[in-house]
């Protein structure tokens, strides 16, 4: 099944060349890897450096009182998928970022740290009764391929630091050799299981909105090994976003 999904995504050119070239996602449960049915093409290897579209004048940056809506509803040239109109942006950052963690270029929706987004309880660290967001939210069309940006092992959902329901029922964690737990939240579909070893660039999930009030996105959170939400650290270095 996974091979079929990856092959289809490669044919659709929604996966980066590295994912297609690497073949189907490997795991402890799928030791035999089949050749991909389609390799990278020039179209897939030449991602434009500019954002997929310029925001219309009516699009406004987010603020506490007037969260920004998605700047466009047209199909993304990077993924062939339609942006989720439920997305709300609580940041002034309008850059479109690529990352080892997903296909295409997407915008930050909620940054790590104090945020005006209304989904979080007031935090004593934050002014104006703002809450604290323990990861970074990247808005993306539902179904966008999520790739592993690290090498690591999928750990058991109920092991110490188990994510709560706010991350969605499909939330999972990747434990890196350096002793970090990387939490991926809200996925629509997950292609890995506890015990699987994942490589960088491997397809691990499809973006979704499970447990999320503001549409499909990737919630990426980094914690100390076995740590809970209170031990989350700034994920931006690991997210490796680039314009």
Contact positions toward Zn ion, by CB under 5 A? 135, 137, 219
Least Å from the CB of residue 209 to Zn ion: 11
Q: Which is nearer to Zn ion, 27 or 115 (CB)?
A: 115
Least Å from the CB of residue 200 to Zn ion: 22
Least Å from the CB of residue 212 to Zn ion: 7
Q: Which is nearer to Zn ion, 78 or 219 (CB)?
A: 219
Least Å from the CB of residue 217 to Zn ion: 7
Nearest to residue 36, comparing CAs of 52, 53, 26, 24?
24
Nearest to residue 171, comparing CAs of 151, 201, 140, 146?
146
Which residue of the chain is nearest Zn ion when measured via CB? 219
Least Å from the CB of residue 110 to Zn ion: 6
Long-range contacts of 71-79 (CB under 8 A, 24+ apart): 71/107, 76/52, 76/104, 76/141, 77/48, 77/52, 78/14, 78/47, 78/52, 78/103, 78/104, 78/105, 79/14, 79/103, 79/104, 79/140, 79/141, 79/144, 79/145
Q: Which is nearer to Zn ion, 15 or 204 (CB)?
A: 204
Nearest to residue 197, comparing CAs of 28, 74, 61, 68?
28
Q: What is the DSSP letter of 62?
A: -
Cα distance between the two ends of the chain: 33
Q: Which is nearer to Zn ion, 13 or 110 (CB)?
A: 110
Least Å from the CB of residue 18 to Zn ion: 26
Q: Which is nearer to Zn ion, 20 or 190 (CB)?
A: 190
Residues pairing with 220 in the sheet: 136, 184
Q: Which is nearer to Zn ion, 137 or 196 (CB)?
A: 137
């Amino acid at each position: 099944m996974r091979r079929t999904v990856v092959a289809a995504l490669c044919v659709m050119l929604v996966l980066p060349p590295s994912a297609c070239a690497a073949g189907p996602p490997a795991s402890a449960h799928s030791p035999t890897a089949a050749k991909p049915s389609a390799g990278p093409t020039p179209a897939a290897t030449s991602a434009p450096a500019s954002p997929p579209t310029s925001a219309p004048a009516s699009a406004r940056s987010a603020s506490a009182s007037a969260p920004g809506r998605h700047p466009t509803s047209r199909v993304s040239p990077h993924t062939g998928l339609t942006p989720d109109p439920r997305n709300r942006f609580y940041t002034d950052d309008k850059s479109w970022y690529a990352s080892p963690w997903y296909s295409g270029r997407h915008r930050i929706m909620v940054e790590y740290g104090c945020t005006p987004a209304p989904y979080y309880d007031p935090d004593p660290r934050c002014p104006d009764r703002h809450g604290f967001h323990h990861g970074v939210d990247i808005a993306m069309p539902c179904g966008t391929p999520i790739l592993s940006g690290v090498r690591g092992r999928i750990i058991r959902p109920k092991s110490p630091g188990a994510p709560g329901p706010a991350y969605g029922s499909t939330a999972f964690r990747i434990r890196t050799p350096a002793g970090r737990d990387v939490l991926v939240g809200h996925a629509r579909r997950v292609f890995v299981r506890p015990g699987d070893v994942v490589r960088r660039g491997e397809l691990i999930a499809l973006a979704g909105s499970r447990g999320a009030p503001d549409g499909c996105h990737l919630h990426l959170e980094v914690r100390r090994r076995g740590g809970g939400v209170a031990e989350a650290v700034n994920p931006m270095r690991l997210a490796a976003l680039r314009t």
